[in-house]
Amino acid sequence: MIDTQIDVINKLGLHARASGRLIEITTKFRSTIQIGKGDKLVDAKNILSLLMLGAGKGSTLRLVIEGVDEEQALQEVQALFAAKFYEAD
């Protein structure tokens, strides 16, 4: 199990388009992927749950991944956040 933190650094935060891109990645994996603030974790494969987080720029989120492909899932999620969801600044 991986339990780490990830920072939201893109200008608009985890809005609809960014959440959609995150789901494109998370749904490829068999591992369970949860994200949230503190103990309030949601399914990172569910767009409504992601939108309800209200994670704006500067938020630090907890990322919990568990399963057979957890390392690859972590790498891809981190890369997406680092690339600011491929949005223009």
Q: Which residues are catalytic?
A: 15
Alpha helices in 1-89 (DSSP H): 16-26, 47-52, 70-82
9 phi, psi to nearest 5 deg: -115, -5
The Cα 19–Cα 3 span in angstroms is 20
DSSP β-bridge partners for residue 50: none
